[in-house]
Amino acid sequence: MPFCGIGARSEEAQASWTIERRLRKDRQAFSLTHRIPVVGAGESGKSTLIKQMQLLYANGFSLEDKLAKVADIRRNIRDSLLAITAAMGRLQPPVELELAENQSSMDYIKQVSLQPDFDYPAEFFSCAQKLWRDQGLQEVVRRSNEYQLLDSARYFLDKCVQVADPNYIPSDQDILRCRVLTSGIFETSFIMNKIRFHIFDVGGQKEERRKWIQVTDF
């Protein structure tokens, strides 16, 4: 029986040693990890900065990452066209379409593309291309300092044909240019010079700012 007691204590000691060793490793890993919250006003470039860090230090974007961005990029095209067409009548002096025949395309963008289940069919891209070639629309874009327009608008509208392709796969540059409203907290991690970095992207809109404390109070 004494031998059984000794064996049990030995197993407990071994288990305790294993736990302590694991805790030491965890503490060491924690001490070598830099946690960097990226906070700021909306549209200030926080998400773009983090995507650049991911591209440079975290093995870039996987195929899954790229395919997940297709819908966001198409939404950027739609939102850009909505902003441009809405500004046409508000600018002073107002701007009209160069070709009256493009009015139906503008109506489609303003009405049909806003449906909740809109899935960006070929008709959408056909209308987008017609509008983008219209010199009236181009004039509104040249005056984008007079209203709010995505800084990626011209980039993606120039690539409208490519983005319309059902087999379209975004490039790294496409993902960097894509604009998406950040809601919540997103984390990216990578290792540089044997040091692990955790970068936290927090939404910059007013309703999101109460979450900043979650990533600044380490």
Q: 188 in helix, strand or coil?
A: strand
Mean pLDDT of 89-101: 95
- The catalytic site residues sit at 43, 48, 179, 201, 205
Q: Quick one: 153 and 75 in the same domain?
A: yes
Domain assignment of residue 105, yes or no = yes
**Residue numbering of the annotated binding site for GTP:** 43-48, 151-152, 176-182, 201-205
Separation in Å, CA 68 to CA 59, 60, 85, 121, 170? 17, 14, 28, 17, 9
Asked if residue 194 is part of any domain, the answer here is yes
Indicate if 163 and 75 belong to the same structural domain.
yes
- Tally the domains of the chain: 2
- The domain spanning residue 146 has which CATH number? 1.10.400.10
Residue whose entry in the numeric block shows the structure tokens 């009209």:
96
The pLDDT of residue 208 is 46
Does residue 183 lie within any of the structural domains? yes
Residues 39-55: pLDDT tens digits? 666 566 667 776 777 67
Q: Look at the block and give the residue holding tokens 């790229």.
A: 66
152 within a domain of the structure (yes/no): yes
In terms of DSSP bridges, do strands 185-192 and 195-202 run parallel, antiparallel, or are they unpaired?
Answer: antiparallel
Domain match, 155 and 200 both: no
pLDDT of 115 above 70: yes
- What are the tens digits of pLDDT across the range 183-213? 556 566 666 667 666 667 665 544 444 544 4
Tens of pLDDT, residues 166-183? 999 999 999 988 887 655
Tell me the two tokens of residue 139: 């004039």
- Which segments are annotated as binding site for Mg(2+)? 47, 182
Q: What distance in Å separates the CA atoms of residue 83 and residue 148, rounded to the nearest whole number? A: 7
Q: Out of 57-66, 80-89, 97-106, 110-119, which region has the weakest mean confidence (pLDDT)?
A: 57-66
Smallest CA-to-CA distance from 186 within 218, 208, 217 is with 208
Range of the domain at 196: 36-59+171-218
Q: Which residues are annotated as a binding site?
A: 43-48, 151-152, 176-182, 201-205
